[in-house]
Amino acid sequence: MKKKFSVARGTNDILPEEVSRWQTLEKKAHEIFRIYGYKEIRTPIFEETALFARSLGPTSDVVQKQMLTLAKSGQGDEEDKNIFSLRPEGTASIVRSYIENSVDKKESLTKLYYIGAMFRGERPQKGRLRQFHQIGVEAIGPGSSNSYLDAEVITLAVRLLSEAGIKTFKLKINSLGAPGDKEIFAGILREKLKSHLNHLCEDCKDRFERNIFRILDCKNKECEKVVEHLDLGQSHLSQESQKYFKEVQQALKVLKIPFEVSPLLVRGLDYYTHTVFEISGEGLGSQDALGAGGRYNQLVHELGGDEKGTIGAVGFALGMERILMATGERTTNNERRTTNLDVFIVSLDAVGEKKAYEAAFKLLNDLRAGDVAADMSYAQGSMKSQMRLADKTGSRYCLIIGEDELKEGAYTLKDMRSGDQKKVKLENIIKTIKG
C-alpha cells in the first residue's frame, strides 16, 4: 500500500468553504488600514536566522526552542546550510527592510501593515499552531516616539477586533520603561525571587538565569503564587518613563478604550521598551491572546540602522486563527454568495453527438469574457445530473442548451430561486443575466 500523506502537525489546510471567512477578515483589515494611513508591505517568509536571534533575543523562547530553520539539501558550503529560518513573526523582517531601504531618509514616520503566515515550532494545541497567520502593523521612524501613537496603534488593534465581530475582549497594558529601567527591573526581580527559587517550576528556574521577566507570566500555579506576593509596583520606571506611560493611558481614556494596567505583563520577545499590551478573548482556552504588541525603541539601532538611537517604533500583531475561532463558525450569506456562480450551463445532445456541448463550451467562454461567473459540467451527463450539479453550485441561473434551443438560437434561462424559465436570444444572454 502506498503511504498516505497528512497535513503536517500544527498546520492546517484552509478549505474553500472556510476561505470566504478569511477573505472577509482580510478585506476589513485592508479597509481599516487605509483609513488609518498604513501601507502594506510584503517581506519574504524566511530570513537569516541571526536577524531573528538579534531581534527577539537569543534567550527568548521563540529563538531558543521554536525556530524552524531551513536545511539546504545537496552539496554546498556548510556555512550556507542552516543560516535561514522561517519567520516566527513580522517585526524583525520589517525593521530589516526599513533599514535596508533607508526609509528614515524619506519620511519621519512610516506606517506599515502586513498580513501573512508565520512559523513557530511550538507544541501544537488548541489555538497554538506551527503555521499561523498574523495581521500586524509597525509604525517606525524618528517621528514615532509619541505616546499618542502608542494609543493610535492600540486603538487600531481594538477596532480591527471589533469589526471582525469580537464583542468581548480584555486589553491589558504595562510599561517596561526605557532600557535602563528594564535593567533595574531585572535587578529588583532577581533580588525578590532569589529566596523563592525552590518554589518555581523547572522552566522558571531556567528563566531566572536567562529571561527573568518571563517568570511573571508563567501559568504554573506555584509560580503564580510566588509572583502574586512579589508586590511589584512601577518604582523601577524613571520619572520620564512614568510620565510617558501616564500619557498613553490618558490618550486611551480620551478615546474611551477600556483597559487594565497589569504590572505582570512582560511579553516574550526581548525588543520591547516602554508600552506593552495584550488583548485576550473569551472562550479560547489557555491560548487566549488574540493579539499583542508594544513599543520597541532600540531595535532599529540594534540592527545597525540608527547610530544615534533616535528611531523608535511601535506595533502589534493579531492572530488570525484565534480571531476566526473567537467569532465561531458563522459564514454570512454575503460570504456564501461571493463563492456562487451567476450561471451554470446544462447541455443536452443525442447520444454520440457534441453539438450542444460545443455550443455550451463556446458560450461559457463568451460569458466569462463578459465578466459573468459561469461554469458547466465537463462530463456529458444526463439532464438530471447536470441540474443537480447546477443546484449544488448555488448558481443564480441555469442555462439549458438542447437541440431545439440550437435551432432557435434562443436558450432556456431558468431562475434557480423562483423556478421561472424563459427563452433568451443568444445576443441578450449577458444583458439578461447581469440584469
Q: What is the DSSP string of 311-368?
A: -EEEEEEEEHHHHHHHTTT---HHHHHHT--SEEEEE---TT--HHHHHHHHHHHHHH
According to CB under 6 A, which one of 30, 81, 128, 205 is a site residue for ligand HAM? 128
According to CB under 6 A, which one of 54, 120, 274, 396 is a site residue for ligand HAM? 120
Q: Among residue numbers 71 through 110, which ones bind ligand HAM (CB under 6 A)? A: 89-91
Cβ burial of 121 (10 Å; 0-12, 13-18, 19+) is: middle
Piece in contact with ligand HAM (CB under 6 A), picked from 41-49, 120-128, 224-232, 376-384? 120-128
Minimum CB separation from ligand HAM for residue 83, in Å?
21
Exposure string for 318-351, b = 16+ CB within 10 A, e = fewer: bbbbbbbbbbeeeeeeebeeeeebbbbbbbbbee
Q: What value does the CA radius of gyration of the chain take, rounded to a whole number of Å?
A: 28
Minimum CB separation from ligand HAM for residue 50, in Å?
17
Decide: is 138 part of the binding site for ligand HAM (CB under 6 A).
Answer: yes
Minimum CB separation from ligand HAM for residue 160, in Å?
12
How many other CB atoms sit within 10 Å of the CB of residue 49? 18
Decide: is 355 part of the binding site for ligand HAM (CB under 6 A).
Answer: no
Which of 279, 398 has the CB closer to ligand HAM? 279
Minimum CB separation from ligand HAM for residue 129, in Å?
4
- Report the distance separating Cα 127 and Cα 223, nearest Å: 23
Q: Which residues pair with 39 in a beta bridge?
A: 112
Cell representation of residue 241:
518613563
According to CB under 6 A, which one of 57, 177, 305, 315 is a site residue for ligand HAM? 315
Minimum CB separation from ligand HAM for residue 324, in Å?
11
Q: Among residue numbers 6 through 35, which ones bind ligand HAM (CB under 6 A)? A: none
Cell representation of residue 302:
540594534
Minimum CB separation from ligand HAM for residue 124, in Å?
8
- Report the distance separating Cα 20 and Cα 336, nearest Å: 7
Cβ 292 vs Cβ 277: under 8 Å: yes
Size of the site for ligand HAM (CB under 6 A): 24
Minimum CB separation from ligand HAM for residue 250, in Å?
22
According to CB under 6 A, which one of 25, 53, 86, 129 is a site residue for ligand HAM? 129
Decide: is 132 part of the binding site for ligand HAM (CB under 6 A).
Answer: yes
Cβ 324 vs Cβ 139: under 8 Å: no
Q: Among residue numbers 317 through 346, which ones bind ligand HAM (CB under 6 A)? A: 317, 319, 321-322
How many other CB atoms sit within 10 Å of the CB of residue 69? 14
* Size of the chain in residues: 435
Cell representation of residue 204:
522558571
Cβ 226 vs Cβ 200: under 8 Å: yes
According to CB under 6 A, which one of 55, 63, 136, 299 is a site residue for ligand HAM? 136
- Each residue 221-240 as x (binds ligand HAM by CB under 6 A) or -, in order, gives --------------------
Which of 287, 386 has the CB closer to ligand HAM? 287
Which of 57, 294 has the CB closer to ligand HAM? 294
Which of 290, 300 has the CB closer to ligand HAM? 290
User: What is the SS3 string spanning 269-308?
Assistant: CCCCEEEEEEEEECCCCCCCEEEEEEECCCHHHHCCCCCC
Minimum CB separation from ligand HAM for residue 101, in Å?
18
Cβ burial of 371 (10 Å; 0-12, 13-18, 19+) is: exposed
Which of 236, 322 has the CB closer to ligand HAM? 322
Cell representation of residue 179:
532600557
Minimum CB separation from ligand HAM for residue 319, in Å?
2
The residue nearest ligand HAM at its CB is 319
Identify residue 69 by its one-letter amino acid code.
Answer: T
Which of 128, 192 has the CB closer to ligand HAM? 128
Q: Among residue numbers 254 through 313, which ones bind ligand HAM (CB under 6 A)? A: 289-294
Minimum CB separation from ligand HAM for residue 288, in Å?
9
Binding site for ligand HAM (CB under 6 A): 89-91, 120, 122, 127-129, 132, 134, 136, 138, 289-294, 315-317, 319, 321-322
